[in-house]
Structure 1
Amino acid sequence: MKSSILILFITLLYINFFGILNISNTILLISLLPFIATGLRKNIMFKNILVWFMIGLICNMISCYIYRGQDYFSSFKAMPIYFYILSYFLFAKLNPTLSTLNSAILYLIIIFDVIYITQFILLQIGIIFLPLNEELYSEAGSSARFRMIASGLVSLGVFWGCNRYILKKDFFSIAVCILSFIVIFLMAFRTMVFFSILFSGLLIIRLQGFSKKTLGIFIIGIIAFLLLLNIPIISEKFDYMWEKQFGSEAQTLNNKDYIRNVTLFYYINDHFKSILEYIFGSGLPFIDHPYHKEIDFLGEQGIFFQDWGLLGLSWMLGIIPVGCMIWYSIKAAITKVDRSYYYIGVWFIYLVVSSITTSEFYREGNFVIQALCLFFIHKAHQIYKNKQRIKN
């Protein structure tokens, strides 16, 4: 129990307690340096991928300096959230047990869901205790939409609940799954809703194959979904997403004037100054630098690289770091672990696929959660190998 609380506390610290605190990124990242130094000397899974990730970030800073004139320190200050994936080495140093990691992840999921729902309720009466983007919650009342730091936890909660329910058949698993799914609906992002349902189905099939039991679970899931739609706020969010997808002013890629299509055309045809800048990325702009004013002007026109998810991030951060993100996600998904932990690998693939047109993969705080889950996979695989060795 004490070990789980320690891992929970450390994780919360590095995500600034979901933004409730405001500890300097410089302080937090410097505190990781000793663990990175020792971790690089160890033979641990994902180490080489993260080394290439760091090389890619360094190349990106050089590219930004050459083509956009932004100094290295400014580039570093513009991308602190990406360096938090290196907290993987901190978890490797602490080396908690698999049970400890699983408990800490569960606590994080529940805390996230409770805080999100609490803030949503309080927002209706004008009380705000989280650092929210005003553009997302400016709409009145229940129409408000907002993100929380480490938002990846909510989808992780859906898969955690599905995985455990298939194996344990307990009410608690269903409660965690439904609670997390409600939060996804309150966020009202179509991609997250669709892919969380799709990958939950794939996880269930992976765990118990095609059978009458699987069909029964899908039917129960559909019934539960229909019951949720009877809750006024859930129904309202569903109508909102339906209108955006199928309404008279649908926002889809089939519309040539859709701003995502405009953004794609700009970055492919007009943004880059050379093929090398395309490969290594033009860099993330730091406030008050002329390069920031250029990107800010694009934002005023509705052109945001984030609208193209990981592809958009590759335009700014370069192909190497983004390639590494996809690489470690696939590796996490195909690494052999016990059936109890399939949800982690499914979650990583969900992050990649759902980030085709969203920035869910690299939202603030999510790299700390990814680091925790990558070490989880490392530990789970070690135990799996030991069990196989004993059997053989």
Structure 2
Amino acid sequence: MKILVILLLACDCFGNVPKADVLLIPFCICGIFMHSKFYADDVNKCIKLTVLGLLLSMASCFFFRGQSLWASLQALRFYWLICFFFYLSSQNIEIKRIEKGLCLFYFIFIIAYILKWMFPSLKIGMDFNDNSIDNTKNVFLLGIFILPFGFFYYLNKLFKRFKTKYMFFVLLAVLIWFNMGSRTNIVGGIVSFLFMYFHYFPISRINIKHLKFAITLGLFIFLFLQIPIIQESLKVIQEKQQYGSTLDNQDYIRVQQFHYFTQDHFKNIFEYFLGSGMPHGTSAYGQKMLSHGEIGGIVTGWFDWGLIGLSWVVGIFTVFMLFYLYVKIVRSKLNDDFFYLKSIYLFYIITSPFAILSFEGGAFILQSYLLYIFCKKRIR
């Protein structure tokens, strides 16, 4: 229950309690001083260097853009949560408890999302209307960062011991990704799925049992794709391609954003490396960056470019340390019970350059738990 409460605070109770995640900051600060001897020194160093990069971006924003350090401190409130790892490392938490807490949050999020999807007027989180292609309503709830965990955790269980319920739990995450029309997450999910599949069923050791499993799995996927709402989502994704939501279209907003940040935004090479700073609405810089309005249509919208965009505001060094940490986990050795960690971080490597799922809206609290499990269970 403590883990569930922490996750709910991290996502502002699905957006219903603004800035609830600030209540976790004291734990992050205390954790920095409480953790003394934790054997994952390399992970500690990566996180500390990431925090150093955030501090440097604050200084850059103050010097080049005139935004106060206090405003930058507030603007980075989601990112300080990465220090929650230090608090966890000072505790002796049972891994099974963490996994149960994360699973419980996964199902609560699924229920909240489906309720908001079916009854848009419900006061749960936020909703964004996108009528540029059709009249469907895209539902958005803070807390969506839990989907990669639920997907790969239960997929790992499915591959180890085939049970229909695990297939159902996996498809819940896929259902939401399709409803969101997130091409990046769908591609990342497919590649990471194949990564895990061939880990358990390498081509060199295929037998009748593996073929039966593959046929059953293929049948489930085929039936899943026949569901009307999935068919509708596929149609929306296809129409995005047809309507020019691709990088070869110069009028596509992401192309315009890339051109702005690479050609017009930065004052010099030092600001480019350190980042121009996370904008806050109380400063002139923040008002310039945030004033163009509606979600999905602003030229200064760095967030549409995931980690690439994040490097524009918090610096290349900061993003490099995060990406290095992701790669390190994928390349490490873990036994099969925790192989889902490698798949999650491979998913992050594929999707994070173009999507914010791995670092926005309280996601660093989830990553703190995942990194804690990794440090306890990796094979040296």
TM-score by length of 1: 0.88
TM superposition outliers: structure 1 runs of 4+ over 6 Å? 137-141
Pairwise CA distance, 1:23:
5.0
For 2:98, the equivalent position in structure 1 comes to 101
Instruction: Point out where structure 1 has 5 or more consecutive residues left out of the alignment.
Output: 386-392
Pairwise CA distance, 1:78:
0.7
Amino acid at match of 2:219: I
1-side partners of 2:55 and 2:250: how far apart? 36
Matches within 5 A, 1:117-266: 117-123=114-120, 126-130=121-125, 132-135=126-129, 143-210=136-203, 211-212=206-207, 214=210, 216-245=212-241, 247=242, 249-266=243-260
Pairing partner for 2:371 from 336, 350, 374: 374
Pairwise CA distance, 1:357:
2.1
Instruction: Point out where structure 2 has 5 or more consecutive residues left out of the alignment.
Output: none
Pairing partner for 2:279 from 278, 285, 294: 285
Q: Is the 8 A contact 1:306 1:359 kept in 2?
A: yes
Pairwise CA distance, 1:257:
2.7
- Cα shift readout 1:292-334 (whole Å, capped 9, x = no counterpart): 1221355677312122211111011101221121121112222
Pairwise CA distance, 1:363:
2.0
2-side partners of 1:258 and 1:10: how far apart? 38
- Cα shift readout 1:309-365 (whole Å, capped 9, x = no counterpart): 111110111012211211211122222211111111211121221123222222212
Aligned residues: 373
Matches within 5 A, 1:80-119: 80-119=77-116
- Alignment partner of 1:337 is 2:331: no
Change (3 A) 1:218 1:153: farther
2-side partners of 1:129 and 1:108: how far apart? 15
- Alignment partner of 1:296 is 2:290: yes
Which is worse superposed, 195-204 or 99-108? 99-108
Change (3 A) 1:42 1:379: closer
TM-score by length of 2: 0.90
Q: Is the 8 A contact 1:137 1:146 kept in 2?
A: no
- Cα shift readout 1:10-35 (whole Å, capped 9, x = no counterpart): 33333333334345444331243112
Q: Is the 8 A contact 1:310 1:359 kept in 2?
A: yes
Aligned-pair RMSD on alpha carbons?
2.3
Amino acid at match of 1:317: V
SS at match of 2:48: helix
Amino acid at match of 2:69: Y
Q: Is the 8 A contact 2:9 2:23 kept in 1?
A: no
Which is worse superposed, 355-364 or 233-242? 355-364
Pairing partner for 1:18 from 11, 14, 36: 14
Pairwise CA distance, 1:140:
8.7
- Hey, which of these two has a bigger chunk of helix by percent? 1
Q: Is the 8 A contact 1:335 1:377 kept in 2?
A: no
Pairwise CA distance, 1:258:
2.1
SS at match of 1:361: coil
Q: Is the 8 A contact 1:61 1:283 kept in 2?
A: yes
